[in-house]
Amino acid sequence: MIRVIIADDEESTVELVQDILLSSGLVEVVGIASDGLECLRLFEQLKPDALFLDIKMAELSGIEVAQNVMQTDEPPLVAFITNYDDFALRAFELKAIDYVIKISDLKTFTQRLLETVHRMENALQQREPVLLEMREMIAQLARQNLHPLQRKIPVRDQVEGTVRLLDPQDVICIVRQERRAMLITSGKVFPTYATIDQLSERLSSQGFFRANPGALINIQYIEHLIPNGDGSYDVLLQNGQGQGQTLHQPITVSRSRAKELFKVIQMP
């Protein structure tokens, strides 16, 4: 059985999709979400084999949800459900990512959805190459900016055991620990789904600077720049609790990035 989560903000669509999936005899619907954030929360709890995602949802779009789950250790297969026969999505038909158009013709909709189920069944037999292709294609969809990224960042709250959205302006810096990007705020550290490279591309216009290959700093929190004598600098960042209180661990700005940082903060 293929364990799936359905995420769509239209209750009637959810009920229809669920009925069709169950009729296949190949699917177990383990969760239903009405928005992207709820879908991520359910994904963390249930670890399904596949997601059926509406593209346009509150909190996080379907593409954003797909981007985030693709960065996990056990990513699911993904199929998009959409009202729009978008040319960019059409190009992905018959490949790793599938999509189903919401149409009034019930027979055609049912047929397409069942075709998707059978494709997923086959894909689960060759999971690794399919997921590799899917990850690349979802990243390409995001780069085409078909559906602009939301301002907030989905993170894992390990204390609460759930997923939440974090305002980038509350983030002091982002550091890579092993393969994970960790967002550091005042008093808390949150693992996120995105990579340092993805966050750098997304947040560069929001006041974040790539200090070195493994770290981003929020320029508004810079307190001191300490030269190391080799062209690099240690940056002391405010901990968000007031002037003069800095993070215990400085972030090193590499020699190759230091001149660019001075330009950004307009230092001579």
The pLDDT tens digits for 15-46 are 999 999 999 999 999 999 999 999 999 999 99
Does 97 or 163 have the greater pLDDT score? 163
Contacts 24+ apart (CB under 8 A), 126-135: 130/77, 130/96, 131/70, 131/75, 131/77, 131/96, 133/95, 133/96, 134/70, 134/75, 134/77, 134/78, 134/96, 134/97, 135/70, 135/75
The pLDDT value given to residue 172: 94
Residue among 240, 242, 265 nearest 171 (CA)? 240
Task: Say yes or no to pLDDT of 147 above 70.
Answer: no
| Lowest model confidence (mean pLDDT) among 119-128, 205-214, 249-258 | 119-128
Residue among 100, 103, 94, 104 nearest 113 (CA)? 100
DSSP-H helix ranges across 166-219: 196-203
Q: What is the mean pLDDT of residues 132-153?
A: 67
Q: What is the mean pLDDT of residues 74-96?
A: 68
Rounded to whole angstroms, the Cα distance separating 196 from 192 reads: 10
Q: With the C-alpha atoms ordered 193, 196, 202, 205, is the resulting torsion angle positive or negative?
A: positive
Q: What is the pLDDT of residues 192-251, one digit of tens each?
A: 988 898 899 888 888 999 999 999 999 999 988 999 999 999 999 988 665 556 666 889
Residue among 251, 13, 10 nearest 109 (CA)? 13
Rounded to whole angstroms, the Cα distance separating 176 from 218 reads: 15
The pLDDT value given to residue 245: 63
The pLDDT value given to residue 227: 93
The pLDDT value given to residue 211: 95
Q: Which domains does the chain have, with CATH numbers?
A: 2-143 (3.40.50.2300), 166-264 (2.40.50.1020)
> CB within 8 A of 66, min separation 6: which ones?
51, 53, 78, 80, 138, 141
Residue 128 host element (H or E): helix 127-143
The pLDDT value given to residue 150: 57
The pLDDT value given to residue 240: 66
The pLDDT value given to residue 87: 47
Q: Structure tokens of 53?
A: 């995602």
Q: What is the pTM of this model?
A: 0.80
Percent of the chain with pLDDT over 70: 86
Rounded to whole angstroms, the Cα distance separating 26 from 120 reads: 10
Provide the mean pLDDT of the chain.
84
The pLDDT value given to residue 242: 56
Does 22 or 105 have the greater pLDDT score? 22
The pLDDT value given to residue 94: 41
The pLDDT value given to residue 146: 46
- Say how many CA atoms lie within 13 Å of 229 toward its Cβ: 0
CB contact at 8 A, 221 and 173:
yes
The helix/strand/coil state of 172 is coil
pLDDT band at 74; cut points 50, 70, 90: confident
The length of the chain is 268
